[in-house]
Amino acid sequence: MADSIKVQAMRKLAEVMETIPELGSVHRWQGKPTDLDQVKTPALFFWEEEESRDKRNRLATGVLKMHLAVFIRLSPSGAASFNDLADNIQGKLHNALIRTTELKGLVENLQEERVWKEFPNDDYGVLFMSLTLTYGHAWGDAFTTVY
């Protein structure tokens, strides 16, 4: 059996983000700790949190809050170049996610929300983005958009 529309949409999002050359790796975070020394950086992790469901005639609509975190190794001089690199990556992510046609048919709407940066330690800076993603499938069949 094919994957559900939600799984297809999340996999397609990963594929779109993997095309950004500035990213070393893309991971759908599974809630377990990751050793950043074992992944190629800048490393993007994305995950979804709360999801709401709605019914519009024969269409089931899922709206979920998605988060992206890009861990960027700081240069030997510290955080000096982090902001420029993070801003460029954020711009590439914005363009890739908002302008792509590859999500058509799987994602009804993708809205960028908040963007912020943090420095959790002396080794990494983190770019965070939150998005709202809306997808749809036939009511009663999460594996098709035909309704």
Per-residue pLDDT reduced to its tens digit, 34-43? 888 899 999 9
Checking if the pLDDT of 119 tops 80, the result is yes
Split at pLDDT 50, 70, 90, the class of 33 is confident
The C-alpha angle with vertex 108 and arms to 126 and 55, in degrees rounded to 5, equals: 115
Helix axes 5-18, 82-99, angle to 10 degrees: 130
Asked, as a colleague might, if the bond just before 42 is cis with ω within 30 of 0, I would say yes
CA separation for the pair 136, 115 (Å, rounded): 26
- Using the predicted structure, report yes or no on whether residue 29 has a pLDDT greater than 60: yes
pLDDT at 77 over 70: no
Question: Which pair of tokens denotes residue 111?
Answer: 């809205």
104 band by pLDDT with thresholds 50, 70 and 90: confident
| Average per-residue pLDDT for the chain | 90
From the candidate CATH numbers 3.40.1550.10, 3.40.640.10, 3.30.2000.10, 3.10.129.10, the one assigned to the domain spanning 5-27+43-138: 3.30.2000.10
6: its two tokens: 């939600």
* pTM, rounded to two decimals: 0.89
Sequence spans of domains, the chain: 5-27+43-138
Virtual torsion, Cα 28, 33, 36, 42, nearest 10 deg: 30
**CB contact at 8 A, 103 and 13:** yes
pLDDT category at 1 given cuts 50, 70, 90 is low
